[in-house]
Amino acid sequence: MLRPILLLLPFVAADIDYALECNKGYRVSAIRRAKTYYSVLGSLSIECERVSRPEHTTCVNQPSIPKCTGFLEGLLYNY
């Protein structure tokens, strides 16, 4: 007599958050997916651009989770 086999696979969650941080005086300007030779999907490349000199930049804690609105958040700079 054959019995059905129940196979349980562990569920892997992919909702891991990563902080995108640049050096002081820079901001994240682009997020690109780098292609590899073997696959179209590769690793993510984070590009930063300079917005102010580091000695004139003060970073402050953000009151909430950052949102992709296009506005600069978390940086106060004096020209």
Q: How confident is the model at residue 49 (pLDDT cuts 50, 70, 90)?
A: confident
Tokens of 41: 């999907």
Nearest one of 70, 48, 46 to 57, comparing CA atoms:
48
Average pLDDT over residues 35-53: 75
Give the pairing type, strands 44-50 and 57-59.
Answer: unpaired
Would you kindly state where each structural domain of the chain is located, as residue ranges?
A: 26-77
If one counts every other C-beta atom within 10 angstroms of the C-beta of residue 23, the result is 10
Are residues 47 and 25 in contact, defined by beta-carbon separation less than 8 angstroms? no
Residue in the structure block whose two tokens are 């953000």:
62
Strands 75-77, 57-59: pairing is antiparallel
Give this prediction's pTM: 0.42
Mean residue pLDDT across the chain:
65
